[in-house]
Structure 1
Amino acid sequence: MENFDVIVIGAGSVGMAAGYELAKKGVRTLLLDAFDPPHTMGSHHGDTRIIRHAYGEGVQYVPLALRAQQLWEELAGLSGMTLFARTGVLGAGPLGSPFLAEMQVSAKQFSLPLEVMSAEEINERWKGMNLPDSFYGCYESNAGVLYSERCITAYRELATRQGAVLLTHTRVTDVQVEPDHVTVTTDQGTYRGEKLLLSAGAWNPALLRSLGLQLPLVPTRKTVAWFAADEQLYSSEKFPAFVFELEDSTYYGFPSVDGTGVKIGRHDGGHPIDPDQLDRTFGTYPSDEGDVRSFLEAYMPQAAGPLQQGRVCIYTLTPDEHFLIDRHPEHEHVVITAGFSGHGFKFASAIGEAASQLLTDGRTVHDLSLFTLNRL
């Protein structure tokens, strides 16, 4: 049986980042993944993710977002890959939006550049916008878009270069936790580790149940779609990424990157699923296209062209949509990263760093008090 200092189950966004952080410290690291990352079975595919700093979901996220940005830029330098585009990000919604108010609190507390704009100013600056007078927005010029699959590839190459062992197409079938080690059985073999990181996304709930934790984590079917758009209005050189918090729904989207069309998704809603039984066919539900097309017709009409493509992905939701980053309550040598609730990718670099610190130092420089297990 092969022995490792740390075994990582799930080499996606956080797992691969943690694998690199561990390996560069000289930690003997085994990364296990049921697929071959980057892949289309989890929560990191679809080309792009938004990264924001003046965070509307809570000012507590801002230091983590800023550290994540720094780490993504370092990763780009180390890998020689383009991982980030500073497109700017516009948050928009009706007057009185709690999300936009929290963006302004975050920006003020951390001295972040944030431009508060009326609907008229937004429609004038970006001719592809059609906001009603009852809306306003907050524009963050330093924010932008991460190329998510490239980010995974960069971490994978650097982690393995540093000596991490990555086993792909390797499904975990059993985890046994002893007082001073863990034994992980897979369909390819059995491995022993002194410590364990669980970062298996939508497969975390089943793994956690096997370790005696019944947590309210809900894997949820989500979709994104790309629509043909007027490139003079919506190209990534001219148009920002965006998040709209409406009265009864939330949408996010991206400018057209290299002519691929405007990409858009609905953040709220979705259908609870078993990740092993997920129907990955876009269009299974009329709302797959209908919801996002209706949004575009209302607020960005020249981007509501023919559907170019649609993808199915997965959120793993917590009840409060804050993350879960903590140790197992009965096993100090088991660290859990889970429940990223559709807004975790941007933080993956910093969470990977935090997880590696918890595993090697027993503590982390990051404030993770919002993400404790005992709140659930």
Structure 2
Amino acid sequence: MDNNNLNPTSSILIIGAGTWGCSTALHLARRGYTNVKVLDPHPVPSPIAAGNDLNKIMEHKELKESNTDAQSIAYAACTRAALVGWTTDPVFMPYFHETGFIVAGDTPALIQLIQEAEIDQSQGDFEFLGSAGDFQRTMPPGVLTGEFPGWKGWVNRSGAGWIQAAKAMVSVYKEAQRLGVSFLTGPLQGNVKSLVYEDGDVIGALTQDGTTHYAQQTILTAGAGSDRLLDFKKQLRPTAWTLGHIQLTPEEAQKYRNLPVLYNVTKGFLIEPDEDNHELKICDEHPGYCNFVVDPDHQGEIRSVPFAKMQIPLEAEGRARGFLRDTMPHLADRPFSFARICWDTDTIDRAFLIDRHPEHASLVVAVGGSRLGAMQMPSMGGFIADALEGKPQREVKDVFRWRPEIAVNRDWWSTQNRIGGPDKLMNFQDLKDDEWTKIA
């Protein structure tokens, strides 16, 4: 079956109830589809979903007029649509905090790179930060106490800030449910073992409890787990990043309200503490970790296979504390109250992969967040629904297409042009058991 036979009563199966899966369910329900089912091994928000997080960065910048790069145009179209959702849609509005965004570097080369690539005074409210005092004045007294050695940057206070990612995902899930979407979750009834095929087409999915869920259309939005269910011909690489929380007192948390996101392109970033538990999230910056093992699902190739872990490497904790010593030294030695690795999926060019499968007419793939997907939550389901209906927007159609030809000789160790930390991709397999945090 292809999109020509699609109608409001068509049975549609979504595999994966993360950020993109929930968004897709909502958009389909809003477009009048009445027979939508979502499968996931975990309840929403899944503990292993990249979007199940206290907060994520949200930043939209219009392109410089001189930028004609197709991928940049596609990404700008996505974030523009997402910002509309964050600022006008009641499902999302409570979870967007337009507090501003600080981008900085600490070497002359990095500072020049940021200025050339990121800063366009005609497209934002940018203010230059050239000293420690300038950085400190972007936040209430006593929040930023560091010396910011070598740092220079810019603060943009419009169209940027952060989102309450997990709460937004739950909001989307509840609204999709209210509109009639069925969610089946759990290690048996929601855990997809395999896609089900007939005559070369996908006709549904088999779950761990032995049930076959038949569907006229299937949408695969399983994030880092998608590569386990379909041969993506090396287009996907599960890659992980690291985060930690520091517990603040209620009094400290109150002082740290409405802070702009602080991001150093090689050292890390922080976002203000959450309102419920008063935890400050800090991330170190690096090209990512993979878990390279012999993968029986790919003919014994060495591939990155994701796993869940509520700890991070000690080296990542050290990098995060180095970032704090530059910015908030009064917190640099405070114990972490929580930590985890956070998986995403890189395409080879870091552009999303949203397309109807060329060999399986009833399958749409929507994967490859490439660390840029969570902020797209309000609009991403719309782009995926467009692909299902066979009418992708012009700006994204070619950029987000199925493109295995560029991945034939893929270098799994590529940094994907990311920087920070050791400036190389790291492998969890190189770590010993005593080289991880042990946070209770």
Identify the TM-score tier after normalising by the shorter chain.
0.7 to 0.9
User: CA–CA distance in 2 between the matches of 1:49 and 1:200?
Assistant: 19
Alignment counterpart, residue 75 of structure 2, candidates 48, 61, 83: 61
User: CA–CA distance in 1 between the matches of 2:160 and 2:98?
Assistant: 6
User: CA–CA distance in 2 between the matches of 1:43 and 1:356?
Assistant: 21
- Shift in alpha-carbon separation, 1:157–1:306, aligned structure 2, 3 A: same
Once the two structures are TM-superposed, the CA of residue 226 in structure 1 deviates from its matched residue by 1.6
Supply the AA of the counterpart residue of 1:266.
D
Corresponding residue for residue 240 of structure 1: 260
Task: Mark the runs of 5 or more structure 2 residues left unpaired by the alignment.
Answer: 1-8, 64-70, 294-303, 408-440
1:87 is aligned to 2:94: no
Deviations 1:294-351 (A, max 9, x none): 1111233233233232223212223333322222122343221112122210012221
SS at match of 1:371: coil
User: CA–CA distance in 1 between the matches of 2:306 and 2:396?
Assistant: 36
Deviations 1:24-73 (A, max 9, x none): 22212111111111121121122111100127994642221121121233
User: CA–CA distance in 2 between the matches of 1:372 and 1:327?
Assistant: 8
Q: Judge conservation of contact 2:201–2:359 (CA < 8 Å) in 1.
A: no
Deviations 1:218-250 (A, max 9, x none): 22333211225696699443521122113xxx5
Q: Judge conservation of contact 1:100–1:138 (CA < 8 Å) in 2.
A: no
User: CA–CA distance in 2 between the matches of 1:350 and 1:313?
Assistant: 22
Percent of aligned pairs sharing the same letter: 22
- Shift in alpha-carbon separation, 1:58–1:345, aligned structure 2, 3 A: same
Once the two structures are TM-superposed, the CA of residue 292 in structure 1 deviates from its matched residue by 0.5
Q: Judge conservation of contact 1:235–1:256 (CA < 8 Å) in 2.
A: no
Corresponding residue for residue 372 of structure 1: 401
- Shift in alpha-carbon separation, 1:48–1:96, aligned structure 2, 3 A: same
> What is the aligned residue count?
362
User: CA–CA distance in 2 between the matches of 1:279 and 1:154?
Assistant: 24
Alignment counterpart, residue 342 of structure 2, candidates 313, 319, 328: 313
Superposition CA RMSD, Å: 3.0
SS at match of 2:269: strand
1:71 is aligned to 2:76: no
- Shift in alpha-carbon separation, 1:244–1:55, aligned structure 2, 3 A: farther
Moved more, 252-261 or 307-316: 252-261
User: CA–CA distance in 2 between the matches of 1:269 and 1:62?
Assistant: 22
Corresponding residue for residue 122 of structure 1: 135
Where in structure 2 are the equivalents of 1:1-376 lying within 5 Å? 4-27=10-33, 28-54=35-61, 58=72, 60-75=74-89, 77-78=90-91, 82-94=94-106, 95-97=108-110, 98-105=113-120, 108=122, 111-120=123-132, 121-126=134-139, 128=144, 130-133=147-150, 135-169=152-186, 170-177=190-197, 178=199, 182-188=203-209, 189-209=211-231, 213-228=232-247, 235-246=255-266, 250-258=267-275, 260-273=278-291, 278-283=307-312, 285-304=313-332, 305-364=334-393, 367-374=396-403, 375-376=406-407
Q: Judge conservation of contact 1:180–1:194 (CA < 8 Å) in 2.
A: no
Q: Judge conservation of contact 1:197–1:335 (CA < 8 Å) in 2.
A: yes
Q: Judge conservation of contact 2:193–2:229 (CA < 8 Å) in 1.
A: no
User: CA–CA distance in 2 between the matches of 1:181 and 1:156?
Assistant: 25
User: CA–CA distance in 2 between the matches of 1:17 and 1:276?
Assistant: 25
Deviations 1:124-174 (A, max 9, x none): 434505323452224243311111111111111111111111111111122
- State the TM-score, normalizing by the size of structure 2: 0.73
User: CA–CA distance in 2 between the matches of 1:40 and 1:336?
Assistant: 22
SS at match of 1:291: helix
User: CA–CA distance in 1 between the matches of 2:171 and 2:375?
Assistant: 15
Q: Whose radius of gyration is greater, 1 or 2?
A: 2
- Shift in alpha-carbon separation, 1:93–1:276, aligned structure 2, 3 A: closer
- Shift in alpha-carbon separation, 1:261–1:360, aligned structure 2, 3 A: same
- Shift in alpha-carbon separation, 1:180–1:226, aligned structure 2, 3 A: closer
Supply the AA of the counterpart residue of 1:146.
I
Supply the AA of the counterpart residue of 2:239.
T
- Shift in alpha-carbon separation, 1:292–1:234, aligned structure 2, 3 A: farther
Once the two structures are TM-superposed, the CA of residue 113 in structure 1 deviates from its matched residue by 2.9
